[in-house]
Amino acid sequence: MSTPSPKQAPFQRSLRERMRTRIMHWLFVLGRPMTLGVRAVVIDSDRSVLLVRHSYVAGWHFPGGGVEPGETCEQALARELMEEALVAIDGPVTLHGLFFNGRTSRRDHVAVYVVERFHVAGERAPDREILEARFFPLVGLPEGTTRATRERLAEVCERRALSSWW
Contacts (Cβ under 8 Å, ≥6 apart) of 111 = 36, 37, 38, 39, 67, 73, 95, 97, 98, 99
- What pLDDT, in 10s, does the model give residues 113-162? 999 999 999 999 999 999 999 999 999 999 999 999 999 999 999 999 99
The pTM of the full predicted model, rounded to 2 decimals, is 0.80
- What pLDDT, in 10s, does the model give residues 69-103? 899 999 999 999 999 999 999 999 999 999 998 87
Domains of the chain: 34-157 (3.90.79.10)
* Amino acid at site 70: G
